[in-house]
Chain A
Amino acid sequence: MYRKYRKKEVITAVLFLMPAAVLFAVFKYFPLIDNFRISLTNWNFFRPEKTFVGFQNFVSILTSEKFWQILGNTFFYTIWSTLISIVIGFLLAVSLFRMRGHLPRILKTLFFVPNVTTASAMAILWMWIFDPDFGLSGQLFAFFGKESPRWLLTPGLAMWVVISLAVWRSMGYVMLIYTSGLAAISDEIYEAARIDGATQTQQTLYITIPLLKSTSYFLLLTMFIQAMQVFDIVSVMTGGGPYDSTNVLNLYIYQMAFGRSRAGYASALSVILFLILLACTVIQQLLTRGKEDEK
């Protein structure tokens, strides 16, 4: 501290930070803390008093088969939608990177368009595409003289329909992030590799992918955290069905809270979701810190 703070400046700072501070306190920090308290009660929104029940909610969640099924679904959705988006987005970025002229620019715009669509509206369109009777799927299968699978009513298939929409919406975003990562790699490295006789595939495998490692970490974790919170597309397309085969944590919380008014139980579920997200963030921090140390 080489000089004392000026009083006027400090007052200005406090005034400038006040709106954000108040809003975060009321709509972020307080609810988060209050959520822990509610998770220890059997509140149902209506009964005015919240009876303390200890960890009863957590015990009944962790011993219910349904919870583990839903947690499994959430991870299934998260892992597959993240991985597939990243692979397709990466391939798009690499394919377009070395092309010249207007075409790559037009294609980049095209591939990014799905990312600005409204999820709930797209979910309705997806239902119509996968409609087995008269939707696109029904029409295509009929054209080949076959019966379309009932996509959204078949437990093994419904989740893949949901994942397909998630991938469709996010691959353009991945492409864009990788494109900016690729732009940072110097041409000289490829030049040297080419002189040494490396094929294009070898260059991609041994130069591009390793050099994009930090971009991949960033994408993997941010998309993972996002996907863990999926709600819109599942809620609209399947409502969690059939037989909870597409039900995910956030939707389950919503159903418990606003469908069955079990506020305490739903709070406990959101505490669990929060802890999972927190763990992901901590891992992300550790990984990025680890990387900085290497340098």
Chain B
Amino acid sequence: MTESAANNAKSPIAVICRSVFLIITASLVILPFLWMIITSLQPSSSAVLQKPMKLPWPPAFQNYLRIWEVEPFGIYGMNSIIVSFSAAFLQVVVSILAAYAFSFLRFPFKKVAFLFVLAVLMMPTQVAIIPLYSIMTDLGWLDSYAGLIIPFAADAYGIFMIKQSMGGVPRDFTEAGQIEGLGHLRLAFQIMPHLVKPSLIAYIIMAIKWRWNDYFWVLVMTSSIERRTLPVGIVMMKEVSDGGTQWHLLMAATLVVLMPMLVLFLCLQKYFTNDYMSGAIKG
């Protein structure tokens, strides 16, 4: 940091404006979480429906146990884990294969093939949901894990991102590897992951996050409790209780839905932010 930055920061009006702005924004970020937690610890519905609402003392931590009985959150949670991790796993495998081919193999129509990958970036699932629904029906994949996972097994963004970072690996490297008798498969899956580790981890986290938070696809493609994931489950919990919403339980459940990604983010922060930065530079 240079001298100038320090001097500039001393202009008192600027400092006050900046502090006020940061304090307000920080409060606005914290407040919803605080409200959620306060509500979730209320002992009963009638304690929630009061003006003014009292601080929950003693806090009713049992709400966090009760939600597992009220609504099949165990099943939803399991489904969320199964779907997001399998989809992310497949995405990584498929992306590494394709990215490796684009980075290190010579074959005809390479540029055109890559354009076809990039074009997929402009095709969100929503714009073709009707044909997708009928494909899922024909395959018998409605309300199945396959239907929640396989359509997402290939991800254009993953191919693009991993190819970008493989681009930094010198070509000689793979050629040397081949001379030592390593096949392309072993190069792609045993050697490459070490060389592109930061962006690979960033991508894995992002892929899990996307599937974990997805609402639209699960809503359309599932009809039974057995296949619903948390983002849809929580909304179902709200809807079935219409009129007599048990806000203290619903807020406890909301926190349970949000928690895994929050923990993952706080533990692996640097990778979360990494991927966005590389995204910006590419853009």
Q: Which A residues are within 8 Å of any B CB, using their own CB?
A: 5-6, 9-10, 12-14, 16-17, 19-20, 23-24, 26-28, 30-32, 34-35, 38, 45, 88, 91-92, 95-96, 98-100, 107, 109-114, 116-129, 133-134, 136, 138-139, 142-143, 168, 171, 173, 176-177, 180-181, 187, 190-191, 194, 199-201, 203, 214-215, 218, 222, 229, 231-232, 235-236, 250, 253-254, 257-258, 263, 266-267, 270-271, 273-274, 277-278, 281, 288
| CB proximity of A19 to chain B, nearest CB, Å | 5
In the complex, are the beta carbons of A109 and B22 less than 8 A apart? no
B224 within 8 Å of A by Cβ? no
Known: A120-B232, A200-B14, A270-B126. 20 other contacts (CB 8 A): A13-B107, A24-B154, A26-B135, A30-B135, A34-B131, A95-B22, A110-B29, A117-B258, A117-B262, A124-B235, A125-B254, A127-B238, A139-B51, A168-B32, A173-B276, A190-B8, A229-B124, A232-B215, A254-B216, A267-B131
Q: Which residues of B contact A111 (CB under 8 A)?
A: 25-26, 29
In the complex, are the beta carbons of B130 and A38 less than 8 A apart? yes
Q: Which residues of B contact A126 (CB under 8 A)?
A: 32
In the complex, are the beta carbons of A27 and B151 less than 8 A apart? yes
Tell me the bound Cα distance from A139 to B107 in angstroms: 66
Q: Which residues of B contact A107 (CB under 8 A)?
A: 22, 26
B204 within 8 Å of A by Cβ? no
List 23 A–B pairs whose Cβ atoms lie within 8 Å, in order of A's numbering.
A10-B108, A20-B98, A20-B154, A24-B117, A91-B21, A96-B22, A111-B25, A112-B272, A116-B261, A117-B261, A120-B215, A136-B31, A136-B35, A139-B51, A139-B53, A176-B273, A190-B4, A190-B8, A199-B11, A200-B8, A203-B8, A231-B126, A263-B134
| CB proximity of A288 to chain B, nearest CB, Å | 8
In the complex, are the beta carbons of B105 and A9 less than 8 A apart? yes
| CB proximity of A37 to chain B, nearest CB, Å | 8
Chain A at the B interface: mostly helix, strand, loop or mixed? helix
- Partner of A118 from the list B5, B8, B212, B276 (CB cut-off 8 Å) is B212
In the complex, are the beta carbons of B130 and A257 less than 8 A apart? yes
- Partner of B1 from the list A19, A34, A100, A143 (CB cut-off 8 Å) is A100
In the complex, are the beta carbons of A24 and B213 less than 8 A apart? no
In the complex, are the beta carbons of A35 and B276 less than 8 A apart? no
Known A-B contacts A35-B130, A125-B32, A128-B39; the reply to A116 vs B4 at CB < 8 A is no
Tell me the bound Cα distance from A175 to B110 in angstroms: 36
Known A-B contacts A27-B132, A190-B4; the reply to A118 vs B213 at CB < 8 A is yes
In the complex, are the beta carbons of B231 and A31 less than 8 A apart? no
Residue ID in chain A nearest B17 by CB atoms: A95
Q: Which residues of A contact B132 (CB under 8 A)?
A: 27, 31
B265 within 8 Å of A by Cβ? yes
B70 within 8 Å of A by Cβ? no
B106 within 8 Å of A by Cβ? yes
Tell me the bound Cα distance from A197 to B125 in angstroms: 53
In the complex, are the beta carbons of A114 and B29 less than 8 A apart? yes
Q: Which residues of B contact A100 (CB under 8 A)?
A: 1
Tell me the bound Cα distance from A45 to B138 in angstroms: 12
| CB proximity of B155 to chain A, nearest CB, Å | 9
Number of A-B contacts (CB under 8 A): 274
B interface, size bucket: 35 or more
In the complex, are the beta carbons of A121 and B258 less than 8 A apart? yes
B83 within 8 Å of A by Cβ? no
Tell me the bound Cα distance from A135 to B38 in angstroms: 11
Tell me the bound Cα distance from A234 to B45 in angstroms: 26
In the complex, are the beta carbons of A134 and B36 less than 8 A apart? no
Chain B at the A interface: mostly helix, strand, loop or mixed? helix
Q: Which of B101, B232, B247 has the most CB of A within 10 A?
A: B101
In the complex, are the beta carbons of B106 and A6 less than 8 A apart? yes
| CB proximity of A33 to chain B, nearest CB, Å | 8
Q: Which residues of A contact B124 (CB under 8 A)?
A: 229, 277
Tell me the bound Cα distance from A255 to B130 in angstroms: 12
Q: Which residues of B contact A274 (CB under 8 A)?
A: 123, 127-128
Tell me the bound Cα distance from A115 to B117 in angstroms: 27
In the complex, are the beta carbons of A17 and B39 less than 8 A apart? no
Residue ID in chain B nearest A114 by CB atoms: B29
Q: Which residues of B contact A116 (CB under 8 A)?
A: 209, 261-262, 264-265, 272
Q: Which of A20, A142, A236, A257 has the most CB of B within 10 A?
A: A20
Tell me the bound Cα distance from A133 to B49 in angstroms: 8
Tell me the bound Cα distance from A229 to B262 in angstroms: 24
Tell me the bound Cα distance from A145 to B25 in angstroms: 26
In the complex, are the beta carbons of B265 and A113 less than 8 A apart? yes
Residue ID in chain A nearest B282 by CB atoms: A218
In the complex, are the beta carbons of A35 and B127 less than 8 A apart? yes
Q: Write the B29-67 contact mask toward A (1 if CB under 8 angstroms, else 0).
A: 111100110010000000011111100000000000000
In the complex, are the beta carbons of B280 and A215 less than 8 A apart? yes
In the complex, are the beta carbons of A95 and B257 less than 8 A apart? no
In the complex, are the beta carbons of A191 and B2 less than 8 A apart? yes
Q: Which residues of A contact B122 (CB under 8 A)?
A: 277-278, 281
Q: Write the B241-283 contact mask toward A (1 if CB under 8 angstroms, else 0).
A: 0000001001100100110011011100100110011011101
Known A-B contacts A24-B120, A229-B126; the reply to A95 vs B21 at CB < 8 A is yes
B113 within 8 Å of A by Cβ? yes
In the complex, are the beta carbons of B235 and A134 less than 8 A apart? no
In the complex, are the beta carbons of A134 and B21 less than 8 A apart? no
Interface residues of B in 114-148 (CB under 8 A from A): 116-117, 120, 122-124, 126-135
